[in-house]
Amino acid sequence: MTSKAILLGHTKDQDTSARCWLTRYFHSGASKGSWMSIWENGETYDMKYIILLKFSDNSGNAAEYVNAHKEWLNEGIEDGVFLMAGTLGSGMGGAIIAQDSSLEAIEIRVNADPFVKAQVVRAEILEFALSVAAKDLQFLIPRDAA
């Protein structure tokens, strides 16, 4: 098996850049290869996660924890675990698309969220194996799924 790698990108903060390499693996005699994202630290992530953070009865306490929650989100982005995050419609809470080495690692990270700790939100983690993506996101598909 041979491989070809190109630098995909890095975080905005050059001092703490987490570079992601887009690697294409070519199996012997194959004209097409499989793409896979590999982070600078050597980690690869085959499983993706949808994390739903739905407001609970304690949502009135959100203002007290919102800054710490934002810091937690930014840390997840900087670590290369959270790919994107945003709010759910109708003020229901938020959602995160994430990747990590195991469900247990994601659970540990989610349980560290100040909103979760203070029971401002209820967390639901959905695990999925990515198999299809838009052209600009193809690098997220594990090589086995292509």
Residue 129: the pLDDT is 82
Residue 140: the pLDDT is 78
Residue 132: the pLDDT is 85
Residues recorded for the chain: 146
The dihedral over CA atoms of 102, 75, 117, 119, expressed in degrees to the nearest 10, equals: -100
What's the predicted TM-score (pTM) here? 0.68
Residue 131: the pLDDT is 82
Q: What mean pLDDT do residues 123-135 have?
A: 89
Q: Which CATH architecture has domain 47-129?
A: 2-Layer Sandwich (3.30)
Could you state, in order of their start, the residue ranges of all structural domains in the chain? 2-44+132-140, 47-129
The model's pLDDT over 43-88, given as tens digits with 9 standing for 90+, comes to 555 678 999 999 999 999 999 999 999 999 999 999 989 999 999 9
